[in-house]
Chain A
Amino acid sequence: MASVTLTGLVKEYPNGVRGVDGVDLQIADGEFFALLGPSGCGKTTLLRTLAGLEAATEGRIDIGDRDVTGFEPGERDVAMVFQDYALFPHMTVTDNIAYPLRIQKVGRDERSARALETAQGLSLAALMERRPAQLSGGQQQRVALARAIACHPQVFLFDEPLSNLDARLRLEARTFLKQLQKSLGVTTVFVTHDQAEALAMADRMAVMDGGRIRQVGTPREVFQRPANTFVANFIGATPMNLLDAQVVGGALDFGGFTLPVPGEGGRASAWPVAEGDKVVYGVRPEYVQCLPAPAEGAARGEVTAVENLGVSVLVTAQAGEQSVRAVVPESDEPALGDTVHLAPSSERVLLYRADGDGELIGR
């Protein structure tokens, strides 16, 4: 068991593209850590650099108290589960699970016994003589996990291990994987592009974009207080409303309507903003009420789209120049073209700088 520390890690490809661009990260011993980001954000490159499959251009990787930056993958004491599982098609389940032990020169009988022991914990014992092609996707995934577990590594590296499963199986595997990780207590780094997966499973997570880490925190922190507009836009089942506004006369002018500055008393002086500053006003659609009558702190808009989300409805309304989304209960579903009054709950509102990286303005 070990912690993982990345210091100033850079992975630059020969064509000058930086897959990982200066990453500093500390992952605690036994932690389930998710790397989340859109495709091409460098999360898989970061994982592969951590595994040693890509050589770091700059920076340093520590696993436990060892600096493993220049080490071969096999010397790092990590186990990786690949997106396609990478099970060897010509070997039985037993031989697949026992492969790391074969490399460690464990005798045939002992490695079969240990493979069986590991497989029993993952309810694979009945399939030991099968080949990967004769297994279902879920079974293949468990064999890949068993193979990683069998070599007792200090760190697990998972590269989107759930993305090849169908939707229902993925939910089961999610719970299973989280329980497994907690019972083994092995530090785990998990790459995913599915934010629901990251939010559900991770102890802590990093959101990446363009090779950089944009925010690190617990799933709750990342969800409730995204550190910048990128994370705010990326996280959440329905994207956050990010509305351009300007501080005018102590209130926020959205071009067509004004709302008070959120918080107690609605005074701009409570925030580190000055008159005339351009800001981005962020509020999740779940925290916007859709009222039929005018109210204090509500913007008047016209419904332009209604999307059914199951138990609730996503309403898109045009208010002035802004398009505002709100999630309303299905019983209150408005019709297209209705006039509604959109009231954000002010304690849930976040303000971001309109320039630079769109950083969160502290309250």
Chain B
Amino acid sequence: MSTVAGQRRSGTGSGTVSGSRSGTGSGPGRGLGAGALRLVAGRSVMYAVVCLLVVFFALPLLWLVLTPFSPTPSYKASLSGFTLANFEDLLANPQTWPSIRNSLVLSVGSSLLVIVLAALAAYALSRVRIPGRDQLLYALLLLSSIVTGTAAMVPIFLMLFQLGLIDRQFGVVLVLSGGLLPAAVFMLKDFVDSIPRSYEESARVFGASPSQILRHVVLPVIRPGMATVGVWALVQVWGNFLVPYVLLSDPSKQPAAVVMYTFYDAGGQPNFALISTFALVYSVPVVVLYLFVNRRYGFAFQGGIKG
């Protein structure tokens, strides 16, 4: 975007300068003409760059949509004919459905855990005054990227080993949720902060207990926030490769992201038919979920009470 603005500004700027310099004698026509030329040139360059960028980002998507239906799948994004045979291959593969089910177990499990814990923590952090609360939140947020990152994999592996959680999906859910919680708390706290305290005070005067206030007032009001955080967590876990790859050894427990990695033929060549088809099937649920939540709540990363 900055290049766009820059091009436009330099184009019109030089136009006015040359126009005023030519002054009364030759009239403004020549200066404007030169300016317009530069404007056209600038625009052309800009469009060329934008087109290149679009192609760069669109090609993988095009590959994702075209290759599953291609009789000769390869690196190339081309549709040489149309077939559904790749899908038949995928359905015939014994790992397909269990891995998708595993992905669902991990992502839905983590998502629910994150929503519940983050909502409670966000409410407490928003309403209780603790010294250094904001610093704590920022520190957690920074550290969380380490927890699920590559650097911490060895200690995490050792820790789960000692806890007896290696090769168990519950362990993966715990590790992934731990990594997602700080950001989730951070997002949800913003929603809770935007609830006027008078809502809770009003309920309190009517005799509501703290848990009733939470269930009747706070949680319903931050529901859009919880939906956003839930989908965000789901997508994060759905796409996570490293953590389940390291912590799960039994192939029957591995999620789709890890199973896709095993789609090679005997000669070590990637099986494009399976990989491309599986990639498409794998990405559909996330897109559908996103569209559903977007329509139901609208994505909002900040709290807001209307009316």
Contact = CB atoms under 8 A, between A and B. Distances in A.
Interface of A: 51-53, 72-76, 78-80, 82-84, 86, 88-90, 99-100, 102-104, 131-134, 151, 157
Interface residues of B, number: 21
A88 B199 contact: yes
A70 to B, nearest CB: 15
A87 to B, nearest CB: 8
Interface stretch (B14-22, B69-77, B203-211): B203-211
B198 interface: yes
B306 A133 contact: yes
**Which 7 A-B pairs have CB atoms at the shortest separation, nearest pair first?**
A133-B307, A74-B207, A86-B198, A86-B202, A100-B206, A82-B198, A90-B220
A134 B212 contact: no
B217 interface: yes
B134 interface: no
Contacts of B198: 82-84, 86
Contact of B208 (A74, A86, A133): A74
7 contacts: A74-B204, A74-B208, A76-B205, A80-B201, A82-B198, A88-B203, A88-B220
A89 B202 contact: no
Q: Is the interface of B mostly helix, strand, loop or mixed?
A: helix
A11 to B, nearest CB: 16
B267 interface: no
A74 B206 CA distance: 5
Nearest to B202: A86
B25 interface: no
Given A133-B306, A133-B307, A88 B206 contact: no
Nearest to A140: B307
A300 B29 CA distance: 77
Given A74-B209, A88-B199, A134-B307, 5 more contacts: A52-B205, A53-B205, A82-B202, A86-B198, A99-B206
B155 interface: no
Contacts of B203: 88, 99, 103
B76 to A, nearest CB: 52
B6 interface: no
Nearest to A53: B201
Contact of B201 (A82, A104, A131): A82
A53 B204 contact: yes
B196 A84 contact: yes
